Amino acid sequence: MTLIKSISGIRGTIGGKPSENLTPLDAVKFAAAYGTWLKSEYQQDNTLKVVVGRDARISGEMIQNLVTYTLVGMGIHVIDLGLSTTPTVEMAVPNEAAQGGIILTASHNPKEWNALKLLNHKGEFLNAEQGKTILKYVESDNFTFTDIDNLGKIFTNTAYIDFHIEKVLAHPLVEVELIKKAKLKVVFDGVNSTGGISIPPLLKALGVETVKLYCEPTGIFPHNPEPLEKHLTELSKQVVSHQADLGVTVDPDVDRLAFMDENGKMFGEEYTLVSVADYVLSKEKGNTVSNLSSSRALKDVTEKHGGTYYASAVGEVNVVAKMKEVNAVIGGEGNGGIIDPKLHYGRDSLVGLALFLSLLAEKKLKVSELRASYPAYFMAKEKIELTSEINVDGILEKMAKKYSQEEVTTIDGVKIDFATSWVHLRKSNTEPIIRVYTEAQSQREASDLAQKIISEIHSL
């Protein structure tokens, strides 16, 4: 079992021993560390507020109660959203004028996992420096709780998913009437989490006929919750049997979005961002951002529309920082994460879906035809197991030097761009491995490139 402490929060498996797993004691300590950090940041403010929401994991209610009452014990008020989505919590924080937010979700991890993800007053993930400060508070174990007369209060607000949907419908590029006129039919897999209480109402508001699959927020995932093709066999069958226009799925906290075409074939998670960016850039000229491990197809589409593509280090907080730096009009990650700054700076499946449906309704194409209109790239994702005596940084430096005649980027590991392919090597923060991601114009080329690079690393 596992407990992973990082600058973005704490993630682990439920049960077991403290500091080795995500136990009640670890949840309390981490919430107390976050509360201590907030109080140090806002020393003049006696009315601190934190928005808390969770996905539908079985452990969610337990972890939420532990976190909420820890904050109350520190004199911090809590806006309790209950079952919610990551992007909904992110939008609620600034709307409540709160000083922070906590999302209780382990994203695409299986049911035994949960996590505390921490937000600042803008509803955005903490940066590295802030995260390190909170980790120091966790290790210090030096917390001060408030007296009886100054306990925080809990305010329940379950209306924020409706608020979120209203904001999506009011988005200037979401063509509500055009989507209604298209009379689309969708099969939606909500993986028995909060996608089931957020996506169907949005689709209903857009006039889309929806066949619901696994939309009860029980937290009992009917399949591995990561939205990959191998986990979505039932969705594929249902799209075909219902003669739907497309299939849609999200991960448990609704910040990753994936599509299937009318034949039950995956649209490709990398192409979620590519297609949405294509639509946004057709309406508004500008720049785009994704991380170094995302498809080159976004660069192609951006340049087609006269914009400039920029790459960031891996991690949502890095994508957001780069988007702000270059004033990007759309960005995200190749795992199906759409970040539209018109709504907020966070990955958001609701706005991503509405923009994709706007594109589909406008182009009047089948989903398979739309996918065929984009450059075809294929990825391979491999890893190299590490031992303690291996000098990873030395390996990456040698690879960068070996390919110095190519376009090499070193802001996050080493990425080597070739004429028609690329490879990205980076050290994992959570496992003793080097991740080896490649992309090329055929699956065989991508796989062959990955094996070539792995062989070269082994021979160093």
Instruction: List active site positions.
Output: 107
Which string of DSSP letters, residue by residue, matches 47-72?
--EEEEEE-S-TTHHHHHHHHHHHHH
Q: Residue 119 pairs with which residues in a beta bridge?
A: 101, 125
> Which amino acid, one-letter code, is at 376?
A
User: Which string of DSSP letters, residue by residue, matches 162-225?
Assistant: HHHHHHHHT-TT--HHHHHHHT-EEEEE-TTTGGGGTHHHHHHHTT-EEEEES-S--S--SS-S
314: DSSP letter: S
Q: Are 346 and 124 in contact (CB under 8 A)?
A: yes
Main-chain phi, psi angles of 135, to 5 degrees: -60, -35
Give the tokens for residue 213: 């699959």
Q: Please list, in sequence order, all residues whose beta carbon lies within 8 angstroms of the beta carbon of residue 407, skipping any fewer than 6 positions away.
A: 416, 417
Distance CA 52, CA 41 (A): 19
Helix or strand (DSSP H, E) at 290: strand 287-291
- Surface-to-core class of residue 156, CB atoms within 10 Å of its CB (0-12 exposed, 13-18 middle, 19+ buried): exposed
| CA distances from residue 163 to 88, 155, 205, 270, 392 in whole angstroms, order as listed | 8, 17, 13, 28, 47
Q: What's the burial of 448, exposed, middle or buried (CB within 10 Å: 0-12/13-18/19+)?
A: middle
The answer to whether 293 touches 315, Cβ cutoff 8 Å, is: no
Q: Dihedral of CA 7/9/13/17: which sign? A: positive
Q: How far apart are CA 452 and CA 447, in angstroms?
A: 9
